[in-house]
């Protein structure tokens, strides 16, 4: 097992290789991808495969170290040769804290995250080679995916928050480009929506990014460093110097940093961009929802956790728990297959954020990793279903697909069980830990309070809803009779007649409201079917759903495997269920392993004394059993309810919906958040813009025009004076000369004989004068 030993000098090179392979792939693909065979996808998939192998190897090393009790936490700054001196002033010695020196920071969390990014990204690349076949901008799509992966890998490996921010912004840009992938394809039917959604995603996350930058600068202003390790230590010392209480500025700065998470991880109230991000191609949705982008926000929170004051964490908890509950409730009402998954992502992100707010940073990060696998699998399965159903996304037009797409169904069911929190599946372990964190808070006398109660109740309810809407999706999509295709025509027409609720209303460039669903109906109508554009023609029966090709199902199978086993490895120390050992993540990642021994001890102090140890054990045990019972109960009840409403008694669900009336419509229309934002932010912004445009036009332009007109008037006068007086004087001289010369001119006839005659006459005159006088 020597290759699993921790070896910084070699690991450093491997990590750099893993980081820069996608970047190199991006550069090659951008310049020559168009001319390569298969438009270069094999190049990027191959590069991503190498990256995945490296990340998985590094992850294996971290697990190996964790199970052998070896510290696996490595900062390239420990060896001065492995630093990248980016910017430093000569006034400071090289490596001084004021200088921006970038390095690689690698710890168990980074290892887990990196492996998740590597595996998921590889699977998405593989999936895209089937799903995006025939796309006009196929090579650009792959290039962007690769750069997206590069940004996420860089973000995970950054050893200071400034570089994290740089990669964070690169990711924002890539999300813009990828969500707007169809914006360049006028004929795709997604054109308007994609344009709008990419702008929305970019602008909304920008709000969070500005907050994050402010937070970073506040911390730098006080601690004079960007590096995580130094920030954590500085925070510990600052709190110790302040008699164990967080200084109030740290609460403010922590909330600003959390603002970045709210934007990137789409927490309330900046969650509005994520559901629209499904305007991009399905692999992009998988990428954004699983491995990159939204995970970055939670990852940031994990990295900055020691800097968050209890007050800030309260806000984090409430926002996270509220988001989890709200998004789950909207997910129940969504009809679009991808929209259900989008809302479930927001809800799960709420779980992670709430867990970190509740003080269990490991639970939140664990859920982030398991979620990355099963959500990627779910999205890609949804993509496979959409692909198989010829780009129909409405679950009301699906049904009975399990017979036609067995592999997709198996993968999707596996991951749905994982997200619903069924024991043995990965999601169960992480979600159980989050609920346990809530119960620990609730049962602990000194921390118990409204926040913990709210968080525990909201998260339990959200977990129940998660199980419900995920199985609603499964039953609607894979069971019952098939409602799409030719026989779905009437059903489709009925949907149009009754209004297709639950669709996204967006505003096109002219400000006219558009329905994404209606657009799709046009784009994929019966006659002009968009299917052949997407490459796998040659079907006799164009409307019959079919299983997807091998590269798609292979990617699904890999992800489903991780979705199943991502929560527990019994490879090393036995089955956690049988031996009551903790999941691998808890073994590999803990506060002291994440933040170093000193900071870890400060964050999660070990109980001292017999009684305290026993009390802690007692607390953990009761929290654990409460969480276990709760999560089992909510998961089974949610699934049972879905089974009842969408399998046994299918007519009940519409009746319940109409009975709820206004409540149902409010939830279905996303609590009118988009409308609220339009009224409170977008309209005032536009009003401000038109006011300043008017101000510009009237006042500023007026002043400029006034100056111009004055100059013009003066110029006219000056020109007139010039013409009249100056030119007049000059012309006068000329005219006078001309008058005189015209008389003299007559003499100059040019005729020699005339001149001779004058000469003779002159001579005669002279003679006369001489003779007579």
Partner 1 sequence: MGLEAYVAVSAALFALGIVCILVRRNVLYVLMGIEMILNAANINFVAFNRFGSGGIDGQMMAVFVIILAAAEAAVALAIVLNVFYLFHSVKPSAADFLRE
Q: What is the nearest approach in angstroms of partner 1 to the Cβ of residue 772?
A: 18
Q: What is the nearest approach in angstroms of partner 1 to the Cβ of residue 773?
A: 22
| Nearest residue (CB) to partner 1, 186 versus 753 | 753
Among the residue ranges 88-96, 703-711, 722-730, 743-751, the one whose residues contact partner 1 (CB under 8 A):
743-751
| Nearest residue (CB) to partner 1, 705 versus 749 | 749
Q: Which two tokens stand for residue 679?
A: 């009224």
Note whether 268 and 203 are within 8 A (CB): no
Residue 495 DSSP symbol? H
Q: Which two tokens stand for residue 184?
A: 């360049």
Residues 126-155, one symbol each (x = binds partner 1 by CB under 8 A, - = not), give ------------------------------
Note whether 370 and 424 are within 8 A (CB): no
| Nearest residue (CB) to partner 1, 242 versus 738 | 738
Q: Is 729 in the site for partner 1 (CB under 8 A)?
A: no
Cα–Cα distance, 415 to 436 (Å, whole number): 22
| Nearest residue (CB) to partner 1, 450 versus 750 | 750
CB atoms closer than 10 angstroms to residue 707 = 10
Cα–Cα distance, 267 to 429 (Å, whole number): 23
The alpha-carbon radius of gyration of the chain (Å, integer) is: 37
* Residue 433 vs residues 116, 421, 542, 637: alpha-carbon distances, Å: 19, 11, 46, 19
Q: Is 760 in the site for partner 1 (CB under 8 A)?
A: yes
- Please name which of 583, 584, 581, 601 lies closest in space to residue 592, comparing C-alpha atoms: 601
Among 81, 751, 769, 770, binds partner 1 (CB under 8 A): 751
Start-to-end CA distance of the chain, whole Å, equals: 147
Q: What is the nearest approach in angstroms of partner 1 to the Cβ of residue 730?
A: 24
The kind and range of the H/E element at 450 are helix 450-478
Sequence length of the chain is 773
| Nearest residue (CB) to partner 1, 81 versus 753 | 753
Q: Is 756 in the site for partner 1 (CB under 8 A)?
A: yes
Residue with tokens 């229309």: 669
Residues 250-289, one symbol each (x = binds partner 1 by CB under 8 A, - = not), give ----------------------------------------
Q: Residues 6 or more apart from 117 whose CB is under 8 A from it?
A: 55, 149, 152, 153, 156, 291, 292, 295, 372
Q: What is the nearest approach in angstroms of partner 1 to the Cβ of residue 756?
A: 6
Q: Which two tokens stand for residue 483?
A: 């409602």
| Nearest residue (CB) to partner 1, 694 versus 767 | 767
Q: Is 750 in the site for partner 1 (CB under 8 A)?
A: yes
* Exposed/middle/buried for residue 666 (C-beta within 10 Å: 0-12, 13-18, 19+): middle
Q: What is the nearest approach in angstroms of partner 1 to the Cβ of residue 727?
A: 27
- Which alpha helices (H) appear in 670-700, and where do they start and end? 673-677, 683-695
Q: Is 753 in the site for partner 1 (CB under 8 A)?
A: yes
Note whether 283 and 345 are within 8 A (CB): no
Q: What is the nearest approach in angstroms of partner 1 to the Cβ of residue 744?
A: 13
- Please name which of 537, 535, 383, 547 lies closest in space to residue 39, comparing C-alpha atoms: 535
| Nearest residue (CB) to partner 1, 707 versus 760 | 760
Among the residue ranges 37-45, 311-319, 447-455, 750-758, the one whose residues contact partner 1 (CB under 8 A):
750-758
- Please name which of 566, 543, 282, 556 lies closest in space to residue 407, comparing C-alpha atoms: 556
| Nearest residue (CB) to partner 1, 513 versus 750 | 750
Among the residue ranges 514-522, 587-595, 606-614, 744-752, the one whose residues contact partner 1 (CB under 8 A):
744-752
Q: What is the nearest approach in angstroms of partner 1 to the Cβ of residue 754?
A: 9
Among 571, 757, 765, 768, binds partner 1 (CB under 8 A): 757
Among the residue ranges 426-434, 495-503, 646-654, 754-762, the one whose residues contact partner 1 (CB under 8 A):
754-762
* Count of alpha carbons within 13 angstroms of residue 184, beta-carbon side: 12
Among the residue ranges 343-351, 588-596, 717-725, 751-759, the one whose residues contact partner 1 (CB under 8 A):
751-759
| Cis omega (within 30 of 0) for bond into 572 | no
Note whether 72 and 8 are within 8 A (CB): no
Q: Is 767 in the site for partner 1 (CB under 8 A)?
A: no
3-state secondary structure of 158: strand
Among 611, 752, 770, 773, binds partner 1 (CB under 8 A): 752
| Nearest residue (CB) to partner 1, 731 versus 748 | 748
| Nearest residue (CB) to partner 1, 248 versus 754 | 754
| Nearest residue (CB) to partner 1, 695 versus 755 | 755
Q: Is 749 in the site for partner 1 (CB under 8 A)?
A: yes
How many positions of this chain bind partner 1 (CB under 8 A)?
9
List residues binding partner 1 (CB under 8 A). 748-753, 756-757, 760
């Amino acid at each position: 097992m020597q290759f699993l030993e921790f070896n910084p000098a070699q690991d450093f090179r491997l990590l750099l290789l893993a980081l820069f392979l996608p970047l190199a792939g991006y550069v090659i693909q951008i310049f020559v991808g168009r001319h390569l065979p298969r438009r270069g996808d094999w190049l990027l998939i191959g590069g991503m495969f190498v990256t995945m192998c490296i990340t998985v190897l590094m992850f294996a090393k971290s697990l190996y170290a964790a199970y052998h009790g070896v510290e696996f936490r490595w900062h390239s700054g420990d060896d001065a040769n492995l630093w990248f001196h980016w910017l430093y002033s000569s006034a400071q010695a090289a490596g001084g804290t004021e200088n921006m020196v970038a390095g690689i920071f690698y710890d168990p969390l980074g290892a887990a995250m990196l492996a998740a990014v590597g595996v998921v990204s590889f699977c998405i690349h593989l999936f895209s080679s089937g799903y995006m076949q025939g796309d006009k901008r196929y090579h650009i799509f792959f290039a962007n995916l690769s750069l997206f992966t590069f940004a996420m890998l860089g973000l995970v490996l950054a050893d200071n928050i400034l570089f994290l921010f740089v990669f964070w912004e690169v990711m924002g840009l890539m999300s813009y480009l990828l969500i707007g992938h169809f914006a360049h394809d006028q004929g795709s039917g997604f054109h308007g929506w994609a344009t709008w959604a990419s702008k929305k995603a970019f602008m909304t996350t920008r709000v969070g990014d500005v907050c994050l930058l402010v937070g970073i600068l506040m911390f730098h202003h006080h601690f004079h460093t960007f590096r995580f390790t130094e920030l954590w230590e500085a925070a510990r010392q600052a709190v110790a110097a302040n008699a164990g209480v967080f200084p109030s500025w740290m609460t403010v700065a922590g909330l600003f940093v959390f603002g970045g998470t709210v934007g990137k991880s789409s927490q309330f109230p900046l969650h509005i961009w994520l559901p629209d991000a499904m305007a991009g191609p399905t692999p992009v949705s998988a990428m954004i929802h699983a491995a990159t982008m939204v995970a970055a926000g939670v990852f940031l929170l994990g990295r900055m956790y020691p800097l968050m004051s209890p007050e800030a964490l309260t806000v984090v908890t409430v926002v996270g728990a509220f988001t989890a509950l709200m998004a789950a409730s909207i997910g129940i009402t969504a009809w679009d297959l991808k929209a259900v998954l989008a809302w479930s992502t927001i809800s799960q992100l709420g779980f992670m954020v709430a867990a970190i707010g509740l003080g269990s940073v490991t639970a939140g990060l664990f859920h982030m990793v398991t979620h990355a696998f099963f959500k990627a699998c779910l999205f890609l399965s949804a993509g496979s279903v959409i692909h198989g159903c010829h780009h129909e996304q409405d679950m009301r037009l699906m049904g009975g697909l399990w017979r036609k797409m067995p592999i997709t169904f198996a993968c999707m069911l596996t991951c749905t069980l994982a997200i619903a929190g069924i024991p043995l599946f990965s999601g169960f372990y992480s979600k159980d830990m989050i609920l346990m964190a809530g119960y620990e808070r609730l049962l602990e006398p000194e921390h118990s309070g409204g926040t913990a109660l709210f968080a525990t109740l909201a998260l339990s309810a959200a977990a129940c809803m998660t199980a419900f809407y995920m199985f609603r999706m499964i039953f609607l999509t894979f069971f019952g009779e098939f409602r799409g295709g030719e026989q779905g025509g009437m059903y489709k027409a009925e949907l149009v007649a009754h209004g297709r609720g639950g669709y996204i209303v967006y505003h096109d460039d002219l400000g006219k409201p558009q329905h994404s669903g209606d657009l799709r109906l046009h784009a994929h109508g019966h006659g002009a079917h968009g299917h052949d554009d997407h490459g796998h023609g040659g079907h006799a029966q164009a409307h019959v759903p079919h299983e997807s090709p091998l590269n798609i199902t292979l990617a699904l199978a890999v992800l489903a495997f991780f979705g199943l086993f991502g929560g527990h490895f019994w490879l090393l120390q036995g089955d956690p269920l049988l031996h009551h050992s903790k999941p691998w993540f808890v073994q590999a990642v803990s506060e002291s392993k994440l933040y170093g021994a000193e900071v870890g001890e400060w964050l999660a102090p070990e109980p001292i004394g017999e009684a305290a140890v026993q009390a802690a054990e007692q607390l953990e045990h009761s929290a654990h059993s409460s969480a276990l019972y709760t999560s089992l109960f909510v998961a089974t009840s949610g699934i049972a309810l879905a089974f009842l409403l969408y399998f046994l008694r299918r007519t009940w669900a519409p009746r319940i919906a109409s009975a709820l009336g206004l409540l149902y419509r409010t939830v279905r229309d996303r609590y009118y958040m988009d409308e609220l934002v339009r009224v409170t932010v977008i309209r005032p912004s536009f009003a401000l813009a038109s006011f300043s445009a008017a101000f510009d036009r009237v006042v500023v332009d007026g002043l400029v025009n006034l100056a111009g007109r004055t100059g013009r008037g003066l110029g006219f006068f000056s020109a007139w004076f010039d013409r009249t007086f100056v030119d007049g004087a000059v012309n006068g001289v000329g005219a006078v000369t001309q008058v005189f010369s015209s008389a003299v001119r007559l003499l100059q006839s040019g005729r020699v004989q005339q001149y001779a005659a004058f000469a003779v006459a002159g001579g005669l005159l002279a003679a006369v004068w001489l003779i007579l006088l």
